Homo-oligomer: A and B are copies of this chain.
Amino acid sequence: MHKTNILITSAGRRTKLIEYFKKEFYGSGKVITADCSSLAPALYTSDKGYIVPPITDSGYLTKIMDICARENIAAVLSLIDPELLFLAESRKAFEDIGVKIIAPDYRGIDICNDKTKMHDFLGKQGFDNIKTYNGLDVFSDAYNAGEAAFPVFVKKRFGSASSGALKINSMAGLKAALIENGDLLIQDFIDGVEFGIDIYVDLISREVVSVFIKRKFYMRSGETDKAVSIINPAIANLVVEFVKSLNLAGPLDMDIIENDNRYYIVDINCRFGGGYPLAYECGENYPSYIINNIQGRENIARIGQYPEDVKMMKHDDVVIIRP
Residues of A at the B interface (CB closer than 8 Å) are 13-16, 39-42, 44-45, 168-170, 172-173, 175-177, 179-180, 217-218, 220-221, 223, 225-226, 274, 277-278, 281, 307-323
- Shortest beta-carbon distance, A160 to chain B, in Å? 15
Residues of B within 8 A of A314 (CB): 13, 41, 316-319
Chain B residue nearest in CB terms to A318: B277
- Please state the number of chain copies in the assembly: 2
Please name 9 pairs of A and B residues whose Cβ atoms are closer than 8 Å in the assembled complex, sorted by A: A16-B315, A170-B180, A172-B179, A220-B221, A221-B221, A278-B320, A310-B320, A310-B322, A315-B318
Q: Is the CB of A16 within 8 A of B322?
A: no
Known contacts A176-B176, A218-B39: does B320 contact A317 (CB below 8 Å)?
no
Q: Is the CB of B39 within 8 A of A226?
A: yes
Query: In the complex the two chains form, what is the Cα distance from A105 to B102 in whole Å?
Result: 58
Residues of B within 8 A of A173 (CB): 176, 179-180
Q: Is the CB of B317 within 8 A of A311?
A: no
Chain B residue nearest in CB terms to A170: B179
What's the dominant secondary structure at chain A's contact region?
A: mixed
Q: Is the CB of A310 within 8 A of B321?
A: yes
Query: In the complex the two chains form, what is the Cα distance from A42 to B223 in whole Å?
Result: 19
Residues of B within 8 A of A310 (CB): 320-323
Chain B residue nearest in CB terms to A220: B221
Q: Which one, B45, B172, B217, B281, contacts A176 given CB within 8 A?
A: B172
Q: Is the CB of A39 within 8 A of B313?
A: yes
Residues of B within 8 A of A177 (CB): 176
- Shortest beta-carbon distance, A4 to chain B, in Å? 25
Query: In the complex the two chains form, what is the Cα distance from A172 to B320 in whole Å?
Result: 43
Q: Is the CB of A312 within 8 A of B323?
A: no
Q: Other than A41-B314, A309-B323, A313-B318, give 7 A-B pairs with Cβ distance below 8 A.
A: A13-B315, A13-B316, A41-B315, A172-B179, A173-B179, A175-B176, A311-B320
Residues of B within 8 A of A218 (CB): 39
Known contacts A170-B180, A220-B221: does B317 contact A16 (CB below 8 Å)?
yes
Residues of B within 8 A of A44 (CB): 313
Query: In the complex the two chains form, what is the Cα distance from A103 to B309 in whole Å?
Result: 38
Query: In the complex the two chains form, what is the Cα distance from A221 to B307 in whole Å?
Result: 31
Q: Is the CB of B315 within 8 A of A15?
A: yes
Query: In the complex the two chains form, what is the Cα distance from A311 to B16 in whole Å?
Result: 20
Q: Is the CB of A172 within 8 A of B175?
A: yes
Residues of B within 8 A of A313 (CB): 13, 39-41, 44, 318-319, 321
Chain B residue nearest in CB terms to A321: B311
Q: Which one, B170, B319, B323, contacts A315 given CB within 8 A?
A: B319
- Shortest beta-carbon distance, A289 to chain B, in Å? 20
Residues of B within 8 A of A14 (CB): 315
Q: Is the CB of A42 within 8 A of B221?
A: no
Residues of B within 8 A of A175 (CB): 172, 176
Query: In the complex the two chains form, what is the Cα distance from A317 to B169 in whole Å?
Result: 35
- Shortest beta-carbon distance, A47 to chain B, in Å? 17
Known contacts A176-B175, A180-B168: does B317 contact A315 (CB below 8 Å)?
yes
